[in-house]
Amino acid sequence: MTKVYVLNGPNLGRLGTRQVDVYGLVSYAGLVELCRTSGAELGLDVEVRQTDAEHEMLAWLHMAADERAAVVLNPGAWSHYSYAVRDACAMLRGPLVEVHISNIHAREEFRHHSVVSAVATGVICGLGVDGYRLALSHIATLAAADTSAGTGQD
């Protein structure tokens, strides 16, 4: 079973109460349940985590790199300035899908650029929490393709 870490950065633990006009009404607990349920349906071993501490996020990314695990990452505000998070993401050996609940390109100018995007396998933004489900679906597709390639199947 493919291991996937769903990692969420600063302020995402406040989902459902923080700027609901931007981030919606789904609580963080609801997001965790969505990711776990979607992952199980896709045959993925999903672990969801959230932190407001950058050093903790770095440790989780290093662990995922060592495990060759896939990562779905919503780096939150770290997207826009944290070269430490970007460099930790560059060490990943599994797929990395960067997710943003809001459309960062339609918001304030400082949010338009993510330093993480350049090292991500793909980026999903502006689709609400459904972006997480889509990211997990993509990772499941990649895992299935890897399995087929490894067994000589088409």
Q: Annotated binding site for substrate, which residues?
A: 74, 80, 87, 101-102, 111
Are the C-beta atoms of 26 and 16 separated by less than 8 Å? yes
23, 28, 132, 138: the active-site residue = 23
Active site residue 23: yes
Residue 130's region, left for phi above 0, alpha for psi from -120 to 50, else beta, is alpha
Residue 100 a catalytic site member: yes
| Catalytic one of 5, 28, 100, 132 | 100
What SS3 string covers 32-69? HHHHHHHHHHCCEEEEEEECCCHHHHHHHHHHHHHHCC
Give the catalytic positions in this structure: 23, 100
